[in-house]
Amino acid sequence: MVAEITIQDVARRAGVSPSTVSNLLNGRTERMRPETLERVQRAIAQLGYSPNRTARHLKTGRVEMIGVIVPSVANPFYGAFASHVERAALKAGYQILLGNSERDPERERRYAEELWSHGIRGMIFGSSLLALTHLANLVEHGLSIVAFDRQAQAADALPIDSVSVDNVLAARLATDHLLKLGHRRIGFVTGPLRTVNRLNRLEGYEHALREFGIALDRELIWEKSLDQGFGDTEGVELGRCGARELLGKPNRPTALIAINDMYAFGAYAGARDLGLRVPTDVSVVGIDDGVLAEVVDPPLTTVRQPLCEMTQAAVDIIIRRIEGKTNGAPQHLTMKPELIVRKSTTSNL
Amino acid sequence: MVAEITIQDVARRAGVSPSTVSNLLNGRTERMRPETLERVQRAIAQLGYSPNRTARHLKTGRVEMIGVIVPSVANPFYGAFASHVERAALKAGYQILLGNSERDPERERRYAEELWSHGIRGMIFGSSLLALTHLANLVEHGLSIVAFDRQAQAADALPIDSVSVDNVLAARLATDHLLKLGHRRIGFVTGPLRTVNRLNRLEGYEHALREFGIALDRELIWEKSLDQGFGDTEGVELGRCGARELLGKPNRPTALIAINDMYAFGAYAGARDLGLRVPTDVSVVGIDDGVLAEVVDPPLTTVRQPLCEMTQAAVDIIIRRIEGKTNGAPQHLTMKPELIVRKSTTSNL
DNA sequence: CTATATTTGTGTTTCGATACACCAATATCG
DNA sequence: CGATATTGGTGTATCGAAACACAAATATAG
């Protein structure tokens, strides 16, 4: 246990005042003799000094961190998301602080307050919750938020930026694809409809059916949540369970749309449980296009979200807000999804 | 943008000194009149005050955060890991700060120094790198580290705690299982052998073969890394590639052991690429037992790591170190792995 | 050779919370 | 009733870095 090295130690060693060291640290070198500069730099290197961020933050009020709150990184989609956000943040000199909210507004609020008390003034939320009122207080105090994968809602009263894929379109692409393949009874498997992106996807599904002149059959929409709360396995378990129930009906659907890839993988298992094969007996489409989509058997037909561009945009926006480079009205970016046809869907003609 | 509320504001409102508010905040209420206490509490509630952690940290030198550094949370294993660590940490009143190192010692060192300069004095490393010398400097300065999934090495000169599954045993269980099923040519698919856990697993594989009286065929050990660096997809891609190469040989193996579940899923795809079926044409065993293992088709026979207990132990150890409740020699916990037989392996008799 | 600029740093205060020595007011006791 | 405890707080210095006004040393001008 060695004592911390402070700016004072460096100053003493270089024979200058702490102020001078601070000046160098903050790039105010223009009025500094080259030899002084070099002396200070040597002292820093020799002592292995690195400034205490806490002290710096207390003084400046700025902290180069952004908060990232997702339902759970145990879900590979959010894992990949967090990973992309981190990469983009690091490039801009920011660290990320990650929290799992399990889509619980109360946990989300607590996390946000926690991060706030660490001086973090910008956060990205991936949970896509219907309301954002639990964050109103902090936003009014000056917190900047980017809602990820949650298109702005008419009812939103808060100035919150958003970056999202067009989820209505995503589900329309999936549904249209199946309709064109001749499917008429298409099941929709989702977890709790407590998020904007899910509602939008359902809307896209209904829209596509309507456009095609097919009556909506409520029986084909399966929505349920796990009793024992949220877990790592939520998506696949629900997908499995939903597929089993829908495919067990007398007049079973010939195709399923899963709310995301994890649900689709679960649906594969559910179909298998009933002795049905994908795509021969039932076509399955996912949404996300994560890394596993092309590896599973059969490779999953799914709708791609441009995750990389989306995260980059989200990070850019939040940093501009934090640094006060944007002050105006909330920005809302909507990206285009893309249908990726693989082997999990087949013609029903 | 509302001004921050400080302890002074609360004190003024309650008609006491900041010291008194601080005393309450830190539980020193024993010599405080109940009515004063109540007045201060009311002031805190009315103003919605929450203490500035930065200032507190600067004064106390303590910060209730632990660093968690993993190769990448985009890998579901580390996503689940991070999620478990977070849960355990929160229970103990700690936050986690997460970093992805992509197994690069230099990135790992930079991250560690970054976290150190934030006042973090305890970190959990999940990368299992062969050497830990890149962290020597910080450890000498007082950083506590738990190496996760990396059994202590004889050459380790640093006082670093560890929590790991017995990786040698894990691979032995997998190999024995296949041997008992009658397999004699068993391939081993792994990424770069630059981690302790991988080397240990390879050792377990070799050990089991030797014990069974089977000569080691180096041709059956496939080890490669991706050219274009580390990505979300590393595991599955390498597994796929490895399986394709091994199964493409004239005298191909009848079974494969994948270094982890992701590689195993890749191996499924690789076998499929060659028109081979699992387990009819080739048996596959993974290691980890993540959530997808029982969902994929066929459900994966794998070796379970008791992730939950392991992370809990790691968090307990690191917090005891940070709080100075343990000072002695490094602790090394080794947990027992468990073979989970599903449908991806079958008899070769 | 004095007056004014310019260069090159420095001293002091501050951020918000905490630790700790210390003080005022009241209670207790012989 | 004066001396001593006890109760219930408070004043002040401090953590490490940064901001900013200001000062010493040197250069330049007239």
Q: How high does pLDDT run on average in chain B?
A: 93
A263 with A293, same domain? yes
Which positions of chain D lie under 7 Å from any protein Cβ?
7-12, 14-20
Tell me: the pLDDT tens digits for A28-40? Answer: 998 899 999 999 9
Percent of chain B's residues with pLDDT above 70: 98
A143 with A205, same domain? no
A183 with A264, same domain? yes
B154 with B173, same domain? no
3-class DSSP state for residue B233?
coil
Residue B217 belongs to some domain of the structure: yes
From the list A57, A137, A265, which residue is nearest B292 (CB)? A265
Count the domains in chain B. 3
Which residue is closest, via its CA, to the C1' of C10?
A17
Is any atom of strand D within 7 angstroms of residue B76's beta carbon?
Answer: no
How many C-alpha atoms does B14 have within 13 Å on its Cβ side? Answer: 28
Residue A185 belongs to some domain of the structure: yes
Closest of A220, A226, A227 to residue A206, by C-alpha: A220
CATH of the domain at B30: 1.10.260.40
Predicted confidence (pLDDT) at residue B176 exceeds the cutoff of 70: yes
Q: Within the 1-60 window of chain A, which residues sit less than 8 Å (CB to CB) from chain B? A: 1-2, 48, 50-55, 57-58
A216 with A331, same domain? no
Those residues with Cβ within 8 angstroms of residue A243's Cβ, 6 or more apart along the chain or in another chain: A187, A189, A256, A266, A267, A268, A269, A270, A271, A282
How many C-alpha atoms does B70 have within 13 Å on its Cβ side? Answer: 26
Q: Which residue range(s) make up the domain with B273?
A: 167-306
pLDDT at B316 (0 to 100): 97
DSSP H helices in B15-161: 18-25, 34-47, 53-60, 76-91, 105-117, 136-141
d(CA B170, CA B303): 6
pLDDT at A1 (0 to 100): 63
**Adjacent-strand bridge partners of A164:** A334
Q: Within the 217-276 window of chain B, which residues sit less than 8 Å (CB to CB) from chain A? A: 232-233, 236, 240, 265-266, 268-269, 272
Footprint of strand C on the protein (CB under 7 A): A 16-20, 23, 31-33, 36-37, 55, 58-59, 61; B 4, 6-8, 18-19, 22, 25-26, 49, 51-52, 55-56, 58-60
Which residue is closest, via its CA, to the C1' of C6?
A31
Neighbours of A216 (CB within 10 A): 12
A233 with A311, same domain? no
Residue B341 belongs to some domain of the structure: no
Tell me: the pLDDT tens digits for B39-73? Answer: 999 999 999 999 999 999 999 988 899 999 999 99
B203 with B219, same domain? yes
pLDDT at B331 (0 to 100): 95
Q: Are strands B301-304 and B338-340 parallel, antiparallel or unpaired?
A: antiparallel
- pLDDT mean over B263-273: 96
- pLDDT mean over B3-16: 93
pLDDT tens digits, chain A, 349 residues: what are they?
Answer: 677 899 999 999 999 999 999 999 999 998 899 999 999 999 999 999 999 999 999 999 888 999 999 999 988 899 999 999 999 999 999 988 888 998 999 989 988 988 898 889 999 999 999 999 999 999 998 899 999 999 999 989 999 999 999 999 999 999 999 999 999 999 999 999 999 999 999 999 999 999 999 999 999 999 987 766 556 678 899 999 999 999 999 999 999 999 999 999 999 999 999 999 999 999 999 999 998 999 899 999 999 999 999 999 999 999 999 988 888 899 999 999 999 999 999 999 8
B330 with B280, same domain? no
Task: Please check whether residue A340 touches B, CB under 8 A.
Answer: no
3-class DSSP state for residue A88?
helix
B188 with B275, same domain? yes
- For residue A141, the chain B residues in CB contact (below 8 A) are 1-2
Tell me: the pLDDT tens digits for B189-204? Answer: 999 999 999 999 999 9
Residue A113 belongs to some domain of the structure: yes
- pLDDT mean over B114-126: 92
Phi and psi torsions of A62, nearest 5°? -105, 145
- pLDDT mean over B245-264: 96
B194 with B293, same domain? yes
Residue B126 belongs to some domain of the structure: yes
CATH of the domain at A79: 3.40.50.2300
d(CA A319, CA A270): 43
A311 with A300, same domain? no
Q: Best mutation site among B44, B91, B98 for testing chain A: the one with the most A CBs within 10 Å?
A: B98
CA of B285 to C1' of D10 (A): 69
Residue A228 belongs to some domain of the structure: yes
Provide the token pair at B67.
């660093």
pLDDT at B118 (0 to 100): 86
Shortest distance, CA A214 to any CA of chain B (angstroms): 33
> What CA–CA distances, in Å, run from B319 to A247, B82, B91, B159?
49, 16, 11, 16
B302 with B317, same domain? no
pLDDT at A18 (0 to 100): 95
Would the CB atoms of A291 and B233 count as touching at under 8 Å?
yes
Is any atom of strand D within 7 angstroms of residue A62's beta carbon?
Answer: no
Residue A342 belongs to some domain of the structure: no
Residue A341 belongs to some domain of the structure: no
